[in-house]
Amino acid sequence: MIKQLLVLILITESLYLSEGLQGLLPFLNAEAVVLVFGGTFLLSWAVYPFRELVRPSGPAALQFAARCAVGMGVLTTALSLMLVLWFPAGDVPDFYRRLALSLGGIFYGFLLAKVILNPMAARISKAK
């Protein structure tokens, strides 16, 4: 888990070094975080018991959650883009800001799947 945390710190540091604090603003999207992380947990809980999600006996539950995370990221982005296009922005910079926030869903979906869940599943499968 420490190695995954180092990857998250590396991503955050690279964004900060390239754009400063302004570079982190597009990633501060609470709706995307709630939909991706919460939706992934609820979809996984619908298939696997809670105990299997907290202390997995094999990699299957984590691999399923990783696939759900990518799907929830795409779904979050699609829903957000629909709202961006349905309610037009007043000016062009506001449109681009809302568009960047919409893409946060895919970012969080891939982050959860590829940086957190898949490495945990691989570690469990190697331990068995």
Torsion-angle region of residue 82: left (phi > 0), alpha (psi -120 to 50) or beta?
Answer: alpha
C-alpha 57/C-alpha 79 separation (Å) is 34
Confidence of residue 55 (pLDDT cuts 50, 70, 90): very high
* Tens digits of residue pLDDT in 64-92: 999 999 999 999 999 999 988 888 777 77
Global pTM reads 0.87
How large is the average pLDDT for residues 53-63? 94
Confidence of residue 97 (pLDDT cuts 50, 70, 90): confident
The helix (run of H) or strand (run of E) holding residue 106 is: helix 104-110
**For the residues of 45-93, what is the DSSP string, one character each?**
HHHS-HHHHHS-SSSHHHHHHHHHHHHHHHHHHHHHHHHHHHS--SSHH
Count CB neighbours of 65 within 10 A: 26
C-alpha 19/C-alpha 103 separation (Å) is 18
C-alpha 29/C-alpha 60 separation (Å) is 29
The helix (run of H) or strand (run of E) holding residue 104 is: helix 104-110
So where are the chain's domains?
28-127
